[in-house]
């Protein structure tokens, strides 16, 4: 009987892992250009590279700072990619050489050139964490 109660308590603790609301603020370098802020919160390097498996948010651009909230995420390692979609096509437009034509940025102020790898942009999310800032360039 004691063993089954212990197992139930352990299972409840694992399933009741704290979920966190994470705010992402983007500092815009072209606030007057309008458009939409596209934000991806990615839990793995593969998701970060492909966009598949990332939580996404779209926010109208008004002012110098745009923000969104990702609700109910689990503690762990994540990376943020964000861009200001100036033409409303839902994609980061690039030149034929792969350089961004629209303002974009990554968590940890990872460099835009060459697209920051997950390991550079990654950060830990824990209970009580509040805001991640991304500077668009």
Sign of CA dihedral 128, 39, 79, 77: positive
Rounded-to-integer distance, Cα 130 and Cα 132, Å: 7
**Residue-by-residue pLDDT tens, the chain, 137 positions:** 554 444 444 444 444 578 999 999 999 999 899 999 999 999 999 999 999 999 999 999 999 999 999 999 999 999 999 999 999 999 999 999 889 999 999 999 998 876 678 999 999 999 988 899 999 99
Q: Could you tell me where the DSSP H helices lie in the chain?
A: 2-15, 45-50, 118-121
Determine contact, residues 79/107, Cβ cutoff 8 Å: yes
| The model's pTM | 0.84
What domains are defined for the chain? 18-135 (2.60.40)
């Amino acid at each position: 009987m004691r063993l089954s109660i212990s197992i139930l308590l352990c299972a409840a603790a694992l399933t009741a892992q704290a979920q966190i609301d994470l705010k992402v603020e983007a500092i815009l370098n072209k606030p007057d250009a309008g458009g939409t802020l596209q934000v991806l919160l990615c839990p793995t390097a593969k998701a970060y590279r492909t966009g598949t498996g990332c939580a996404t948010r779209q926010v109208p651009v008004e002012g110098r700072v745009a923000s969104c909230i990702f609700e109910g995420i689990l503690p762990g390692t994540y990376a943020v990619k964000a861009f200001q979609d100036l033409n409303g096509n839902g994609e980061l437009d690039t030149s034929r050489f792969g350089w961004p034509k629209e303002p974009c940025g990554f968590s940890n102020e990872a460099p835009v050139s060459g697209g920051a790898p997950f390991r550079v942009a990654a950060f830990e999310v824990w209970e009580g964490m509040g805001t991640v800032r991304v500077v668009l360039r």
